[in-house]
Amino acid sequence: MKQILILGAGAAGTMMAQHLARAVDGRQWGITVVDQHDSHYYQPGFLFIPFGALNEAQVRRPQAGLLPRGARRVKGRVMEIRPAAKQVELADGSVLPWDLLIIATGCRIDPGEVEGLAGEGWGRDACDFYTLEGARALRRRLAEFRGGRLVVHIAEMPIKCPVAPLEFAFLADDFLRRRGLRQATTIRYVTPLPGAFTKANSSRVLGHLLSDKGIELATDFAVERVDPAARRLHSYDGRAEDYDLLVTVPPNKGDEAIGRSGLGDELNFIPTDPHTLRARAHPEIFVLGDATDLPSSKAGSVAHFQAELLTENILRVIAGREPEPTFDGHANCFIESGRGRAFLIDFNYELEPVEGRFPLAGLGPFPLLRESRLNHLGKLAFRWIYWNLLLKGRHIPLVPARMSRAGKRLPSGAA
């Protein structure tokens, strides 16, 4: 029996296992999923834990119960991927063979990449919300916060869920207003980007919202080091940002096994064809989710769209055909803006977020690139969609994997 080996049982790996378990002939192809963890986390929920809107039980489920019955689960840490031998070695020394390899090892934060960040004060005066431990620390720190300088900071791009730091700033503004502490607090949004976000349209709209909420924006800030004793960020151009509480997004990097295997770039992200999701250097390896070097967002919705299209390409390869360039970079994301409201953006490689209605042209019900209560409700509903549709490899009604332009107010000249 031939083997499809999936590395990683996060969102991308779990969705791929579900899709393939239904799609391939189980008499000819076995599916094995490798992951070192026992629990699966709804990572978008980490954003809400510091504010008490979600608890840990609501974002965690046993990993084994999320994989399809037709897939074999192997608990272990990947040490090395050997493309020439079509083998993967685990930390316990065991070796797994494969005929097709799918890498979905995700990405992780590395605070040690910024001088001084991971030292004294980490988890107290400087925290992240991209890990459960970081979200817990922020929950404790915000409970005792009485005002001062709150700095929301991005070290460098790319990062997982690029809108999340903005969401944190908006939710922090709301949280502090409800506690009567907003006037006693200066909120600074410090980013290496030239604007509030990576896409021009969104950057303009969200940057205006930062201003409306009295959140100060510092752009083009390339962090050089952190002085934890003085509680100060230093940039390469000589600027400095003082903080009483630093909420930071440290550099994001791919899994260490990618680096050990010589498959990644300087950040351990794997060079990947942007449309077929095939590893550029190894035609028998496919990559999806946060493990790629693609310019698409590192987000759960992107992994969902990729998994649908990659399943079709895996079937083409099994049948002896070439994969087709079907993935268009489609991303779909709700952006919490505080006070029970949110934005929704829908875009791909070619078209940045624009206004309109989603998913039905003229009907919606969700407005695009505009703040609304309905978008907030959609954000809350996404947790149910994640557990019950996305992770089970189910199609979301009316939301195709390739981005639809219906209902969007396209700029002049867009086809």
CATH label of the domain that carries residue 309: 3.50.50.60
Please report the pLDDT score of residue 97 as a whole number. Answer: 98
**280 domain residue, yes or no:** yes
Please report the pLDDT score of residue 251 as a whole number. Answer: 98
Please report the pLDDT score of residue 124 as a whole number. Answer: 96
Q: What is the pLDDT of residues 359-396, one digit of tens each?
A: 999 899 999 999 999 999 999 999 999 999 999 999 99
**323 domain residue, yes or no:** no
Please report the pLDDT score of residue 273 as a whole number. Answer: 98
Q: Are residues 283 and 369 in the same domain?
A: no
Please report the pLDDT score of residue 285 as a whole number. Answer: 98
Q: Are residues 200 and 293 in the same domain?
A: no
Q: Are residues 177 and 292 in the same domain?
A: no
- How many domains does the structure of the chain reveal? 3
Please determine, for residue 12, whether its predicted confidence score (pLDDT) is greater than 80.
yes
Q: Are residues 195 and 217 in the same domain?
A: yes
Please determine, for residue 87, whether its predicted confidence score (pLDDT) is greater than 70.
yes
Q: Are residues 386 and 293 in the same domain?
A: no
Please determine, for residue 297, whether its predicted confidence score (pLDDT) is greater than 90.
yes
Range of 149's domain? 111-252
Please determine, for residue 6, whether its predicted confidence score (pLDDT) is greater than 60.
yes
The mean predicted confidence, pLDDT, of the chain is 96
Q: Are residues 201 and 280 in the same domain?
A: no
Q: What is the pLDDT of residues 320-336, one digit of tens each?
A: 999 999 999 999 999 99
Q: What is the pLDDT of residues 24-73, one digit of tens each?
A: 999 999 999 999 999 999 999 999 999 999 999 999 999 999 999 989 99
Q: Are residues 169 and 265 in the same domain?
A: no
Q: Are residues 277 and 343 in the same domain?
A: no
Query: Which of 11-42 are b and which e, b meaning 16 or more Cβ less than 10 Å from the residue's Cβ?
Result: bbbbbbbbbbbeebeeeebbbbbbbeeeebbb
Please report the pLDDT score of residue 362 as a whole number. Answer: 86
Q: What is the pLDDT of residues 214-236, one digit of tens each?
A: 999 999 999 999 999 999 999 99
Share of the chain above pLDDT 90, in %: 95
Of 196, 230, 252, which closes a domain? 252
Please report the pLDDT score of residue 24 as a whole number. Answer: 97
Q: Are residues 59 and 100 in the same domain?
A: yes
Please report the pLDDT score of residue 414 as a whole number. Answer: 58
pLDDT band at 411 (very low <50, low <70, confident <90, very high): confident
Q: Are residues 7 and 42 in the same domain?
A: yes
- How much is the average pLDDT of 66-81? 97
pLDDT band at 199 (very low <50, low <70, confident <90, very high): confident
Please determine, for residue 169, whether its predicted confidence score (pLDDT) is greater than 70.
yes
**71 domain residue, yes or no:** yes
- How much is the average pLDDT of 337-349? 97
Peptide bond into 194 cis (omega under 30): no
Please report the pLDDT score of residue 200 as a whole number. Answer: 81
Q: Are residues 259 and 236 in the same domain?
A: no
Please report the pLDDT score of residue 415 as a whole number. Answer: 52
**359 domain residue, yes or no:** yes
Q: Are residues 11 and 82 in the same domain?
A: yes
Task: Provide the whole-model pTM.
Answer: 0.96
